[in-house]
Protein backbone atom coordinates (compact mmCIF):
# COMPACT_ATOMS: atom_id res chain seq x y z
CA UNK A 1 0.00 0.00 0.00
CA UNK A 2 2.10 2.85 -1.34
CA UNK A 3 1.55 6.56 -0.87
CA UNK A 4 2.73 9.52 -2.94
CA UNK A 5 2.75 13.18 -1.93
CA UNK A 6 3.12 15.89 -4.55
CA UNK A 7 3.54 19.47 -3.36
CA UNK A 8 3.39 22.19 -6.01
CA UNK A 9 5.09 25.40 -4.90
CA UNK A 10 3.05 27.45 -7.34
CA UNK A 11 5.37 29.53 -9.58
CA UNK A 12 8.77 28.57 -8.08
CA UNK A 13 10.65 28.46 -11.39
CA UNK A 14 14.39 27.77 -11.56
CA UNK A 15 15.48 29.57 -14.70
CA UNK A 16 14.18 30.58 -18.10
CA UNK A 17 13.61 27.80 -20.63
CA UNK A 18 15.67 27.95 -23.83
CA UNK A 19 12.61 28.89 -25.88
CA UNK A 20 12.20 32.03 -23.72
CA UNK A 21 15.14 33.58 -25.61
CA UNK A 22 14.05 36.74 -27.34
CA UNK A 23 10.88 37.03 -25.25
CA UNK A 24 10.06 39.08 -22.18
CA UNK A 25 10.87 35.98 -20.08
CA UNK A 26 14.51 35.80 -21.12
CA UNK A 27 16.68 35.96 -18.02
CA UNK A 28 13.91 35.06 -15.59
CA UNK A 29 14.86 32.97 -12.56
CA UNK A 30 12.23 33.10 -9.85
CA UNK A 31 14.23 31.29 -7.15
CA UNK A 32 17.62 32.93 -7.63
CA UNK A 33 16.19 36.42 -8.01
CA UNK A 34 13.94 36.30 -4.95
CA UNK A 35 16.81 34.97 -2.84
CA UNK A 36 19.09 37.74 -4.10
CA UNK A 37 16.46 40.39 -3.39
CA UNK A 38 16.05 39.04 0.15
CA UNK A 39 19.79 38.83 0.80
CA UNK A 40 19.58 35.08 1.35
CA UNK A 41 17.06 32.43 2.37
CA UNK A 42 16.67 30.69 5.73
CA UNK A 43 15.28 27.40 4.43
CA UNK A 44 17.57 24.73 5.89
CA UNK A 45 15.44 21.74 4.96
CA UNK A 46 15.10 22.77 1.30
CA UNK A 47 18.85 23.32 1.21
CA UNK A 48 19.49 19.95 2.84
CA UNK A 49 17.23 18.24 0.30
CA UNK A 50 19.31 19.70 -2.52
CA UNK A 51 17.38 22.64 -3.95
CA UNK A 52 20.70 24.43 -4.48
CA UNK A 53 22.15 21.43 -6.35
CA UNK A 54 19.71 21.77 -9.26
CA UNK A 55 21.37 22.81 -12.50
CA UNK A 56 21.09 26.56 -13.02
CA UNK A 57 20.48 27.38 -9.34
CA UNK A 58 23.26 29.54 -7.91
CA UNK A 59 21.59 31.26 -4.95
CA UNK A 60 21.65 28.44 -2.40
CA UNK A 61 24.36 26.24 -0.84
CA UNK A 62 25.07 22.83 -2.35
CA UNK A 63 25.28 20.17 0.38
CA UNK A 64 27.82 17.41 -0.14
CA UNK A 65 25.20 14.73 0.49
CA UNK A 66 21.72 15.98 -0.55
CA UNK A 67 18.86 14.24 1.23
CA UNK A 68 16.76 13.98 -1.94
CA UNK A 69 17.11 13.24 -5.62
CA UNK A 70 17.20 16.56 -7.43
CA UNK A 71 16.73 17.91 -10.94
CA UNK A 72 14.67 20.18 -13.10
CA UNK A 73 11.95 19.60 -15.69
CA UNK A 74 11.43 21.29 -19.05
CA UNK A 75 7.94 22.20 -20.17
CA UNK A 76 7.03 20.43 -23.38
CA UNK A 77 3.70 22.22 -23.79
CA UNK A 78 3.47 25.77 -25.10
CA UNK A 79 2.42 28.33 -22.53
CA UNK A 80 3.26 29.13 -18.92
CA UNK A 81 -0.01 28.92 -17.04
CA UNK A 82 -1.40 26.88 -14.18
CA UNK A 83 -3.51 24.47 -16.22
CA UNK A 84 -0.81 23.74 -18.77
CA UNK A 85 1.79 23.06 -16.07
CA UNK A 86 -0.40 20.86 -13.90
CA UNK A 87 -1.87 18.91 -16.80
CA UNK A 88 1.56 18.13 -18.25
CA UNK A 89 2.80 17.17 -14.79
CA UNK A 90 0.16 14.45 -14.66
CA UNK A 91 0.72 13.10 -18.14
CA UNK A 92 -1.30 15.42 -20.36
CA UNK A 93 1.08 17.72 -22.26
CA UNK A 94 -0.53 19.98 -24.83
CA UNK A 95 0.40 20.41 -28.46
CA UNK A 96 -1.57 23.65 -28.77
CA UNK A 97 -1.76 26.99 -27.03
CA UNK A 98 -4.83 28.23 -25.22
CA UNK A 99 -6.36 31.36 -26.79
CA UNK A 100 -5.49 34.65 -25.10
CA UNK A 101 -7.22 38.03 -25.24
CA UNK A 102 -4.71 40.86 -24.83
CA UNK A 103 -7.27 43.42 -26.03
CA UNK A 104 -10.15 42.12 -23.94
CA UNK A 105 -13.19 40.12 -25.02
CA UNK A 106 -15.21 40.93 -28.14
CA UNK A 107 -18.99 41.22 -28.43
CA UNK A 108 -19.20 37.63 -29.69
CA UNK A 109 -18.23 36.60 -26.15
CA UNK A 110 -19.63 39.40 -23.98
CA UNK A 111 -23.05 39.77 -25.60
CA UNK A 112 -24.22 36.18 -24.92
CA UNK A 113 -22.58 36.32 -21.49
CA UNK A 114 -24.59 39.43 -20.59
CA UNK A 115 -27.80 38.05 -22.02
CA UNK A 116 -27.62 34.68 -20.28
CA UNK A 117 -26.45 36.21 -16.99
CA UNK A 118 -29.09 38.95 -16.94
CA UNK A 119 -26.45 41.67 -16.60
CA UNK A 120 -26.69 45.26 -17.80
CA UNK A 121 -22.98 45.40 -18.62
CA UNK A 122 -19.46 44.81 -17.37
CA UNK A 123 -16.57 47.00 -16.30
CA UNK A 124 -12.96 46.73 -17.37
CA UNK A 125 -12.79 44.17 -20.18
CA UNK A 126 -9.02 44.38 -20.57
CA UNK A 127 -5.80 42.73 -19.52
CA UNK A 128 -4.97 43.96 -16.03
CA UNK A 129 -3.48 43.22 -12.63
CA UNK A 130 -6.14 41.90 -10.28
CA UNK A 131 -5.28 44.27 -7.47
CA UNK A 132 -4.90 47.31 -9.70
CA UNK A 133 -8.22 46.81 -11.43
CA UNK A 134 -9.96 46.66 -8.05
CA UNK A 135 -8.45 50.00 -7.13
CA UNK A 136 -9.60 51.41 -10.46
CA UNK A 137 -13.11 49.97 -10.69
CA UNK A 138 -14.11 48.57 -7.29
CA UNK A 139 -16.20 51.58 -6.26
CA UNK A 140 -17.95 51.75 -9.63
CA UNK A 141 -18.74 48.04 -9.40
CA UNK A 142 -20.38 48.48 -6.00
CA UNK A 143 -22.34 51.51 -7.26
CA UNK A 144 -23.55 49.95 -10.53
CA UNK A 145 -23.64 46.22 -9.82
CA UNK A 146 -21.68 45.56 -13.01
CA UNK A 147 -19.06 42.80 -12.67
CA UNK A 148 -15.41 43.60 -13.35
CA UNK A 149 -14.23 41.41 -16.22
CA UNK A 150 -10.55 41.19 -17.06
CA UNK A 151 -7.85 38.86 -18.36
CA UNK A 152 -4.07 38.46 -18.29
CA UNK A 153 -1.34 36.93 -20.42
CA UNK A 154 -2.94 33.56 -19.58
CA UNK A 155 -6.06 32.13 -21.16
CA UNK A 156 -8.41 33.37 -18.45
CA UNK A 157 -11.79 35.08 -18.20
CA UNK A 158 -11.72 36.61 -14.73
CA UNK A 159 -14.75 38.06 -12.97
CA UNK A 160 -14.32 40.17 -9.83
CA UNK A 161 -17.36 40.96 -7.68
CA UNK A 162 -17.94 42.11 -4.11
CA UNK A 163 -19.08 39.22 -1.93
CA UNK A 164 -21.68 41.25 -0.06
CA UNK A 165 -22.92 43.74 -2.64
CA UNK A 166 -23.05 41.30 -5.58
CA UNK A 167 -23.22 37.95 -3.79
CA UNK A 168 -20.79 35.05 -3.79
CA UNK A 169 -23.17 32.43 -5.17
CA UNK A 170 -24.32 34.82 -7.87
CA UNK A 171 -20.68 35.33 -8.86
CA UNK A 172 -20.16 31.58 -9.12
CA UNK A 173 -23.31 31.25 -11.20
CA UNK A 174 -22.29 33.80 -13.81
CA UNK A 175 -18.85 32.18 -13.96
CA UNK A 176 -20.48 28.83 -14.69
CA UNK A 177 -22.37 30.54 -17.50
CA UNK A 178 -19.14 31.96 -18.88
CA UNK A 179 -17.53 28.52 -18.67
CA UNK A 180 -20.26 26.99 -20.83
CA UNK A 181 -19.95 29.77 -23.40
CA UNK A 182 -16.16 29.58 -23.55
CA UNK A 183 -15.83 25.79 -23.79
CA UNK A 184 -16.11 25.81 -27.61
CA UNK A 185 -13.31 28.40 -27.78
CA UNK A 186 -10.99 26.34 -25.59
CA UNK A 187 -10.39 29.11 -23.03
CA UNK A 188 -8.33 27.62 -20.20
CA UNK A 189 -10.05 28.97 -17.11
CA UNK A 190 -12.89 31.14 -15.90
CA UNK A 191 -11.89 32.51 -12.50
CA UNK A 192 -14.27 33.91 -9.89
CA UNK A 193 -12.38 36.65 -7.99
CA UNK A 194 -14.50 37.67 -4.99
CA UNK A 195 -13.45 40.57 -2.81
CA UNK A 196 -14.63 42.45 0.26
CA UNK A 197 -14.00 45.82 1.90
CA UNK A 198 -14.50 49.43 0.91
CA UNK A 199 -13.03 51.86 -1.58
CA UNK A 200 -9.33 52.22 -0.90
CA UNK A 201 -9.23 49.02 1.15
CA UNK A 202 -10.43 46.22 -1.13
CA UNK A 203 -9.32 42.72 -0.16
CA UNK A 204 -9.54 39.62 -2.32
CA UNK A 205 -10.72 36.51 -0.45
CA UNK A 206 -9.92 32.82 -0.53
CA UNK A 207 -13.40 32.11 -1.93
CA UNK A 208 -11.82 32.24 -5.37
CA UNK A 209 -12.95 29.44 -7.67
CA UNK A 210 -11.40 28.29 -10.95
CA UNK A 211 -13.75 26.83 -13.55
CA UNK A 212 -11.39 24.93 -15.81
CA UNK A 213 -11.64 23.41 -19.23
CA UNK A 214 -11.55 19.63 -18.99
CA UNK A 215 -8.13 18.13 -19.69
CA UNK A 216 -8.26 16.93 -23.32
CA UNK A 217 -6.62 13.57 -22.54
CA UNK A 218 -6.57 11.00 -19.77
CA UNK A 219 -4.25 11.89 -16.90
CA UNK A 220 -2.41 9.96 -14.20
CA UNK A 221 -5.19 11.05 -11.84
CA UNK A 222 -7.80 9.33 -14.02
CA UNK A 223 -5.83 6.09 -14.14
CA UNK A 224 -5.24 6.06 -10.39
CA UNK A 225 -8.90 6.73 -9.67
CA UNK A 226 -10.00 4.05 -12.16
CA UNK A 227 -7.70 1.60 -10.33
CA UNK A 228 -9.54 2.35 -7.10
CA UNK A 229 -6.81 4.43 -5.49
CA UNK A 230 -7.60 7.60 -3.55
CA UNK A 231 -6.64 10.81 -5.35
CA UNK A 232 -6.94 13.62 -2.83
CA UNK A 233 -6.60 17.18 -4.12
CA UNK A 234 -5.80 19.94 -1.62
CA UNK A 235 -6.25 23.60 -2.52
CA UNK A 236 -7.23 24.32 -6.12
CA UNK A 237 -6.24 20.89 -7.50
CA UNK A 238 -9.87 19.91 -8.08
CA UNK A 239 -10.52 23.15 -9.96
CA UNK A 240 -7.42 22.80 -12.14
CA UNK A 241 -8.49 19.36 -13.38
CA UNK A 242 -12.21 20.28 -13.45
CA UNK A 243 -12.76 17.50 -10.90
CA UNK A 244 -11.63 14.83 -13.36
CA UNK A 245 -9.71 12.04 -11.64
CA UNK A 246 -10.00 13.62 -8.17
CA UNK A 247 -11.79 11.34 -5.70
CA UNK A 248 -11.67 13.75 -2.75
CA UNK A 249 -11.15 17.50 -2.59
CA UNK A 250 -10.11 19.68 0.33
CA UNK A 251 -10.47 23.41 -0.32
CA UNK A 252 -8.18 25.69 1.64
CA UNK A 253 -7.45 29.31 2.51
CA UNK A 254 -3.84 29.82 1.49
CA UNK A 255 -0.54 28.13 2.21
CA UNK A 256 -0.76 27.92 6.00
CA UNK A 257 -4.21 26.41 5.99
CA UNK A 258 -3.31 24.24 3.01
CA UNK A 259 -0.31 22.66 4.72
CA UNK A 260 -2.30 22.15 7.92
CA UNK A 261 -5.03 20.31 6.01
CA UNK A 262 -2.41 18.41 4.00
CA UNK A 263 -0.76 17.16 7.18
CA UNK A 264 -4.09 16.18 8.70
CA UNK A 265 -4.99 14.09 5.66
CA UNK A 266 -1.51 12.53 5.55
CA UNK A 267 -2.17 11.03 8.97
CA UNK A 268 -5.23 9.11 7.74
CA UNK A 269 -4.31 8.30 4.13
CA UNK A 270 -3.30 4.65 3.74
CA UNK A 271 -2.63 4.56 -0.01
CA UNK A 272 -2.85 6.67 -3.13
CA UNK A 273 -1.95 10.25 -3.98
CA UNK A 274 -2.16 13.40 -1.85
CA UNK A 275 -1.66 16.38 -4.16
CA UNK A 276 -1.50 20.05 -3.09
CA UNK A 277 -1.13 23.38 -4.84
CA UNK A 278 0.33 26.11 -2.61
CA UNK A 279 -1.19 29.13 -4.30
CA UNK A 280 0.14 31.98 -2.15
CA UNK A 281 3.61 31.90 -3.70
CA UNK A 282 2.06 32.89 -7.02
CA UNK A 283 -1.06 34.83 -6.03
CA UNK A 284 0.27 36.92 -3.14
CA UNK A 285 3.94 37.31 -4.03
CA UNK A 286 4.78 36.50 -7.65
CA UNK A 287 1.94 38.45 -9.25
CA UNK A 288 2.40 41.31 -6.79
CA UNK A 289 6.15 41.43 -7.42
CA UNK A 290 6.87 40.97 -3.72
CA UNK A 291 10.24 39.20 -3.64
CA UNK A 292 10.67 39.66 0.12
CA UNK A 293 7.23 38.26 0.86
CA UNK A 294 7.93 35.33 -1.44
CA UNK A 295 11.16 34.57 0.43
CA UNK A 296 9.43 34.75 3.81
CA UNK A 297 6.70 32.41 2.57
CA UNK A 298 9.34 29.91 1.47
CA UNK A 299 10.95 30.07 4.90
CA UNK A 300 7.60 29.36 6.57
CA UNK A 301 6.99 26.48 4.17
CA UNK A 302 10.39 25.06 5.06
CA UNK A 303 9.32 24.83 8.70
CA UNK A 304 5.99 23.25 7.76
CA UNK A 305 7.72 20.74 5.50
CA UNK A 306 9.70 19.45 8.47
CA UNK A 307 6.49 18.94 10.44
CA UNK A 308 4.88 17.15 7.48
CA UNK A 309 7.85 14.78 7.21
CA UNK A 310 7.15 13.53 10.72
CA UNK A 311 4.09 11.82 9.20
CA UNK A 312 6.00 9.85 6.57
CA UNK A 313 5.96 6.05 6.56
CA UNK A 314 8.20 3.43 4.92
CA UNK A 315 7.42 3.25 1.21
CA UNK A 316 6.29 6.87 0.85
CA UNK A 317 7.36 9.08 -2.05
CA UNK A 318 7.48 12.88 -1.65
CA UNK A 319 7.89 15.16 -4.64
CA UNK A 320 8.34 18.95 -4.49
CA UNK A 321 7.95 20.92 -7.71
CA UNK A 322 6.29 23.92 -9.40
CA UNK A 323 4.00 24.53 -12.39
CA UNK A 324 5.68 27.57 -14.01
CA UNK A 325 7.67 30.62 -12.95
CA UNK A 326 6.64 34.05 -11.72
CA UNK A 327 9.83 36.04 -11.23
CA UNK A 328 8.98 38.80 -8.73
CA UNK A 329 11.93 40.93 -9.89
CA UNK A 330 10.64 41.35 -13.44
CA UNK A 331 9.25 44.87 -13.46
CA UNK A 332 7.57 45.09 -16.86
CA UNK A 333 4.43 43.19 -15.91
CA UNK A 334 2.78 40.85 -13.44
CA UNK A 335 2.57 37.72 -15.58
CA UNK A 336 4.00 34.23 -15.22
CA UNK A 337 7.47 33.50 -16.59
CA UNK A 338 8.32 30.47 -18.74
CA UNK A 339 10.89 28.56 -16.69
CA UNK A 340 12.19 25.16 -15.75
CA UNK A 341 10.57 23.79 -12.60
CA UNK A 342 12.48 22.08 -9.77
CA UNK A 343 11.98 18.50 -8.71
CA UNK A 344 13.05 17.15 -5.34
CA UNK A 345 12.05 13.50 -4.83
CA UNK A 346 12.65 11.52 -1.65
CA UNK A 347 11.20 9.24 0.98
CA UNK A 348 12.12 6.64 3.58
CA UNK A 349 14.32 4.03 1.93
CA UNK A 350 14.75 5.91 -1.37
CA UNK A 351 18.14 6.84 -2.74
CA UNK A 352 19.60 10.20 -1.80
CA UNK A 353 21.74 12.60 -3.76
CA UNK A 354 20.73 11.29 -7.18
CA UNK A 355 21.11 13.91 -9.90
CA UNK A 356 18.04 13.54 -12.09
CA UNK A 357 19.42 16.10 -14.53
CA UNK A 358 17.18 18.06 -16.86
CA UNK A 359 14.05 16.07 -17.68
CA UNK A 360 12.38 16.43 -21.07
CA UNK A 361 8.90 17.00 -19.66
CA UNK A 362 6.97 17.76 -16.50
CA UNK A 363 5.20 14.47 -17.34
CA UNK A 364 8.19 12.51 -15.99
CA UNK A 365 6.93 13.37 -12.50
CA UNK A 366 3.47 11.94 -13.12
CA UNK A 367 4.93 8.78 -14.65
CA UNK A 368 7.10 8.31 -11.56
CA UNK A 369 4.11 8.72 -9.25
CA UNK A 370 2.07 6.31 -11.33
CA UNK A 371 4.75 3.62 -11.21
CA UNK A 372 5.36 4.14 -7.51
CA UNK A 373 1.67 3.53 -6.87
CA UNK A 374 1.76 0.21 -8.68
CA UNK A 375 0.56 1.06 -12.18
CA UNK A 376 2.46 0.76 -15.45
CA UNK A 377 3.02 4.33 -16.66
CA UNK A 378 0.93 4.92 -19.76
CA UNK A 379 3.06 7.82 -20.97
CA UNK A 380 4.02 10.21 -22.30
CA UNK A 381 6.42 10.85 -19.40
CA UNK A 382 9.43 8.72 -18.49
CA UNK A 383 9.51 7.47 -14.91
CA UNK A 384 12.67 7.98 -12.88
CA UNK A 385 11.55 5.57 -10.13
CA UNK A 386 14.40 3.14 -10.83
CA UNK A 387 16.87 5.92 -10.05
CA UNK A 388 15.09 6.58 -6.76
CA UNK A 389 15.27 2.90 -5.88
CA UNK A 390 19.04 2.77 -6.30
CA UNK A 391 21.42 2.26 -3.44
CA UNK A 392 20.65 4.51 -0.49
CA UNK A 393 23.36 7.11 0.16
Summarised one tens digit per residue, pLDDT across range 153-186 is 889 999 999 999 999 999 999 999 999 999 999 9
pLDDT in tens, 279-319: 999 999 999 999 999 999 999 999 999 999 999 999 999 99
Which tops the pLDDT comparison, 252 or 379? 252
Q: Is the pLDDT of residue 392 over 60?
A: no
- Closest by CA to 320, choosing from 3, 4, 9, is 9
What is the overall mean pLDDT for the chain? 96
pLDDT at 363: 98
- Over range 134-163, report the average pLDDT: 96
Residues 133 and 147: their CA atoms lie apart, in Å, by 12
Architecture of domain 3-96+215-388: 3-Layer(aba) Sandwich (3.40)
pLDDT at 1: 81
Q: Is the pLDDT of residue 393 over 70?
A: no
- What are the contacts of 39-44 at 24+ separation with CB within 8 A? 41/295, 41/298, 41/299, 42/299, 42/302, 43/298, 43/299, 43/301, 43/302, 44/302
Phi, psi of 70, rounded to the nearest 5 degrees? -135, 150
Q: Is the pLDDT of residue 133 over 80?
A: yes
Structure confidence at residue 235 as a pLDDT band (50, 70, 90): very high
pLDDT at 334: 79
Note whether 294 and 281 are within 8 A (CB): yes
- Is 384 exposed, middle or buried (CB count within 10 Å of its CB: 0-12, 13-18, 19+)? buried
Distance between alpha carbon 135 and the CA centroid of its chain, in Å? Answer: 26
Structure confidence at residue 24 as a pLDDT band (50, 70, 90): confident
Residues of the chain above pLDDT 70, percent: 99
Q: Is the pLDDT of residue 273 over 90?
A: yes
- Over range 330-355, report the average pLDDT: 92
Structure confidence at residue 355 as a pLDDT band (50, 70, 90): very high
The answer to whether the 3-96+215-388 and 107-212 domains have the same CATH topology is no
Residues 225 and 370: their CA atoms lie apart, in Å, by 11
Architecture of domain 107-212: 2-Layer Sandwich (3.30)
Residues 87 and 72: their CA atoms lie apart, in Å, by 17
- Over range 97-126, report the average pLDDT: 96
pLDDT at 379: 80
Domain map (residue ranges) of the chain = 3-96+215-388, 107-212
Amino acid sequence: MARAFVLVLDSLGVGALPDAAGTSDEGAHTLDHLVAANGGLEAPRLVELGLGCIEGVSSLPRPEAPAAAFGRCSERSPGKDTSTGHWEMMGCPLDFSFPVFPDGFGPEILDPFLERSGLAGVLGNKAASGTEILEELGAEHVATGKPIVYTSADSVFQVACHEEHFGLERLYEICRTARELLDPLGVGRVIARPFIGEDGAWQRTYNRRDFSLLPPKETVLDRLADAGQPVVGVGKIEDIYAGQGVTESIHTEGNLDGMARFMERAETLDEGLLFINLVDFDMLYGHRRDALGYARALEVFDEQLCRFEERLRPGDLVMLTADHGNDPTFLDGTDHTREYVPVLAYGPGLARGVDLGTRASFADMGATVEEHLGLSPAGPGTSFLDELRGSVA
